[in-house]
A and B are shown apart, each in its own frame.
Chain A
Amino acid sequence: MTAPAARVGVVTFPGSLDDRDAQRAVARAGAEPVPLWHADRDLRGVDAVILPGGFSYGDYLRCGAIARFSPVMSELVPAARAGLPVLGICNGFQVLCESHLLPGALTRNAGLRFVCRDVRLRMERTDTAWTSGYAPGQEVLIPLKSGEGRYVADPATLAELEARGGVIARYATTAPNGALDDIAGISNEAGNVVGLMPHPEHAVDPLTGPGADGLPFFTSVLDRLVTA
């Protein structure tokens, strides 16, 4: 008898762009993607949530700053604090920082230009809900596409993040956006909330991406849910 597939919610904000791609990646990983709507105070009983890439609310004011106040986030924030696995990709990472589920902020790229490029990442913390499918030190190739992807934090926060091993991935070569300490992704202390600037959902199929190096982000969480 097979267990029912895990249900992974993907939130659509006005201006979300990579929501369907995230749903596809979830399905490819073997889970059931569940669309979640920004205006609903309802997580529909999902086992995990992805905040996808895009330009929520046009990224007007500040990336992620308006999405943070949407009804769905009022449900998601306490659930994440209680341990629900949450992955924020690109704009989703920005929303997680604005929601204070993750420390620091994402600011304008150092070169002041949008950068779309396949980048090499070195995986670091691999005991989180979303990175357990990787080996520490493993290098992966994943597309980066963002104009405001430069991770910054004040020195104390950065030191604390590094001290607790909160960095899940770094750019293997110099960060194309000027991110401090070449940080590409981080997690909270519990390891259930992860934010990543590059787009693993665009690296799940060699036909439409640089390879399939991003798939373990989506399978990791299923392993976690099965063993939980």
Chain B
Amino acid sequence: MIDTVARAAATPDQPQPYAELGLNDEEYGRIRDILGRRPTSAELAIYSVMWSEHCSYKSSRVHLRQFGDKAPASDALLVGMGENAGVVDVGDGYAVTFKIESHNHPSYVEPHQGAATGVGGIVRDILAMGARPVAVMDALRFGAADAPDTARVLPGVVEGISSYGNCLGLPNIGGEVAFDPTYAGNPLVNALCVGVMRHEDIQRASAPGPGNQVILFGSPTGPDGIGGASVLASATFDDASAAKRPSVQVGDPFMEKLLVECCMELYAAGVVVGIQDLGAAGVSCATTELAAAGTGGMRVALDAVPLRDQSLTPEEILMSESQERMMAVVEPGDVDAFLKICARWEVPATVLGAVDDGGRLVMTWNGETVVDIPPRTAADEGPKYHRPYARPAELDAIQADDAAALPRPAGGAALRAELLRVLGDPNLAAKNWVTDQYDRYVLGDTVLATPHDSGMLRVGDGPRGVALATDGNGRYARLDPYDGARLALAEAYRNVAASGARPLAVTNCLNFGSPEDPGVMWQFERAVTGLADACQALGVPVTGGNVSFYNQTGQTAIHPTPVVGVLGVIDDVTRRTAIAFDRPGDEIWLLGTTRPEFGGSAWASVVHGHLGGRPPSVDLDAERALAEALIAASGAGLLTAAHDLSDGGLAAALTESCLHGGHGARLTLDDPFTALFSESTARAVLSVPPESSAALTALCRTHGVPATRIGSVGGDALEVDGSFTVPLPELEAVHTSALPAIFGA
């Protein structure tokens, strides 16, 4: 029997499964207060998904407001946080929107579909802003590379991203792949999408104008991702609908491609007043958010939703996370034109109802009212918690366990052996096994992609372009979450600048354990504060992002892992700087200051299995100066290559630059061990034609950046004077064979 509003009013004492749906007593009580009666099953479905951690940010909101409070003034920001994604002005009338989002839990349960639908979801976020999606990136973290479960999770995740993104026709231009036992059982799959539009094409997720029609278009709705709804069904009904439903969504990239092209035509035809993608919480989220941000009321016939499975109940429809769906608000006179464009792309579209000014979201099922709520109470006025937080007691001992005390290699032969160990570790090794499965060419605007420091795209017909990098280091954040977040931003910022682009804006994906653990909540608070402070210092505002909590197994949380994406703009993409040492005879220069800093380093981790001490010190003034120097040098055409120094220090950067360019390097280093393995920040290594080195040193002096000549490009080996030589073929074999050896050639 359908649980109507009338029935709910008549049966106030009927028990409801709110706890199974993740609502506590207080939250359920608040719903009853708002409605002045018990909620119907359909209403309970809406509130339970809209007030979930995932949709309401109830544990994180009180901290996330720092991103707004501390936002640096920026002329570039056209749309800030709060919409589907922020929008940044990149010049020439173009605007860019970008966002990163997690799909961690589904990717552990069903790696292929979990990761695939992660791509699909973030692409629709970008599409809903009015932009054409132009590229994706993925920041991935897995358990130990050789752990048995990683052999299940990683190939599935990569194949899911590959099959969905490639079929959708978006180049995959960067991202990360990292391994650490901390992610066993809790892999991190963070997907980023970037889109481009003209300023005047920005769309909003709102439903203004009484009488305007509400249209659902895209795939029919099926029983995807409604594990929660089956609780409702089984508790409320006694029929066969109690059957367990699949809780991971299944993606159809072909439909998404049609949806993208269809939306582009709809926008161009000017027939869209407001639009929202359907992601988590599906129809519940789209209707409440559109109504809440618009005139305030909406009437929807829920039984008009096209179904893939005719047995779905109203609750299941409301909670379904079926992919490749969008909801638009359209003026009555434009409905025919709208439906015609959808038909041309063979995208099913259905008018579900209309906007009104009644201030209520009303849904009917075969003529009976099953939902009647004030939409803002679900969309905007969810619970907000000040969770207790406390610095974990064990952190003092961890920080006291200084990596400086670790035994260092004695002599050139030992240093050489440790170098090869580090470079052959899955974390530092070449990631072609993964990235060769991604199409980086499609759309024809990819100027730089992995393994370069940033992914870079031409915008329009050029020469303008945008660059993107994502970074994050869970080991650093474990040692100090405040500095870990600042280091993640500094690294992504540095990567963008090393390619020659000016950093403009930030997105972030904050991956943590349970917010109910005060130690985790402390890590979260520190990381958010660190990121907000660093954004302020570097002058780059946060435009949006995502929080993923509950990444933990039992009582053991993952390393706190803030992943930061930075977007930059470059005036002329032909001036971009790649990482490859491809001209013998060029001088190699190191910018920045190297200190003996090994806490959380790749060397300490790979050689000693050690995580302790403090992460490298943060100097944001030095980062800013370095970025200015790199951008100016790139723009002036002084560089043949630039590569930022981070995980694995100079050793990793030189290896990548040599192997990518196909030339060796001869180096003279004072203290080869420290020079190669320190992870001091605000550094980059460059190759510079001899005739440009005077101009480079002058430019570095102007910006106050220390510059040291450390060698030259040439030969067929990586050679450190007086210490060791590694022939390039040996270096290449060690560097490129690590992942194929584990995951198959």
Taking Cβ atoms with an 8 Å cutoff, the residues of A that contact B are 14-15, 17-18, 20-21, 24, 53-55, 57-60, 111, 113-117, 143, 145, 147, 199, 201-202, 207-209
Contact = CB atoms under 8 A, between A and B. Distances in A.
Contacts of B255: 58
B333 to A, nearest CB: 27
Contact of A208 (B162, B437, B438, B445): B445
A113 B437 contact: yes
B169 interface: yes
Given A14-B346, A15-B254, A58-B254, A114 B437 contact: yes
Contacts of A20: 443-444
Interface residues of B, number: 32
A16 to B, nearest CB: 8
A114 B162 contact: yes
Contacts of B574: 207
A199 B253 CA distance: 21
Interface string B402-441: 0000000000000000000000000000000001111111
B447 interface: yes
A227 B482 CA distance: 70
A116 B439 contact: yes
A55 B159 contact: no
B345 interface: yes
A214 to B, nearest CB: 11
Contacts of B458: 207-208
A226 B458 CA distance: 33
Given A14-B346, A60-B254, A116-B438, 8 more contacts: A15-B167, A17-B169, A20-B443, A24-B444, A111-B744, A202-B441, A207-B573, A208-B458
Contacts of A15: 167, 254, 257-258
Nearest to A18: B442
A147 B166 contact: yes
Contacts of A57: 254
A80 B426 CA distance: 50
Contacts of A24: 444
A165 to B, nearest CB: 30
Nearest to A209: B441
A55 B166 CA distance: 9
9 contacts: A15-B257, A20-B444, A21-B441, A58-B255, A113-B159, A114-B436, A116-B437, A147-B163, A209-B441
A208 B447 contact: yes
Contact of A114 (B163, B254, B445): B163
B446 interface: yes
A199 B441 CA distance: 9
B252 interface: yes
B499 to A, nearest CB: 14
A21 B444 contact: yes
Interface string B92-113: 0000000000000000000000
A207 B162 CA distance: 24
Identify the 6 closest CB pairs spanning chains A and B, nearest first.
Answer: A58-B254, A17-B169, A21-B444, A202-B441, A55-B167, A114-B437
Given A14-B254, A58-B254, A207-B447, A117 B442 contact: no
B485 to A, nearest CB: 33
A208 B447 CA distance: 5
A55 B439 CA distance: 13
Nearest to A19: B169
Q: Which of B252, B254, B345, B573 has the most CB of A within 10 A?
A: B254
B157 to A, nearest CB: 13
Contacts of B346: 14
Interface in B138-190: 159, 162-163, 166-167, 169
Given A15-B257, A57-B254, A202 B167 contact: no
Contacts of B442: 17-18, 21, 53, 145
A203 to B, nearest CB: 9
Contacts of B439: 114, 116, 145
Contacts of A54: 169
Q: Which of A57, A111, A202 has the most CB of B within 10 A?
A: A202
A69 to B, nearest CB: 15
B437 A115 contact: yes
Contact of A14 (B345, B444, B445): B345
Nearest to B457: A208
A99 to B, nearest CB: 20
A143 B171 CA distance: 13
Nearest to B165: A114
A117 B435 CA distance: 9
A147 B163 CA distance: 9
Contacts of A21: 441-444
A116 B439 CA distance: 6
A143 B442 CA distance: 10
A208 B166 contact: no
Nearest to B446: A208
A115 B445 contact: no
Given A17-B169, A54-B169, A60-B254, A117 B436 contact: yes
B341 to A, nearest CB: 14
B430 to A, nearest CB: 13
Given A55-B167, A113-B159, A207-B447, A143 B436 contact: no
A37 B443 CA distance: 18
Contacts of B437: 113-116
Given A58-B254, A60-B254, A208-B447, A143 B441 contact: yes
A14 B255 CA distance: 9
Contacts of A114: 159, 162-163, 166, 436-439
A17 B167 CA distance: 8
Contacts of B257: 14-15, 17, 55, 58
Contact of B252 (A14, A53, A58, A199): A58
A199 B446 CA distance: 14
Given A14-B258, A15-B254, A58-B254, A116 B441 contact: yes
Contacts of B443: 17, 20-21
Interface in B591-610: none
A26 to B, nearest CB: 12
A115 B166 CA distance: 11
A57 B255 CA distance: 9
Contacts of A207: 447, 458, 573-574
Contacts of A117: 436
A195 B255 CA distance: 27
Contacts of A147: 162-163, 166
Nearest to A39: B344
B712 to A, nearest CB: 25
Nearest to B442: A17
A145 B441 contact: yes
A53 B167 CA distance: 10
A208 B440 CA distance: 10
Nearest to B162: A114
Contact of A115 (B252, B258, B345, B436): B436
B444 A202 contact: yes
Contacts of B447: 207-208
Contacts of A115: 436-437
Nearest to B463: A207
B250 to A, nearest CB: 13
A114 B165 CA distance: 12
Interface in B633-676: none
Contacts of B169: 17-18, 54-55
A190 B169 CA distance: 33
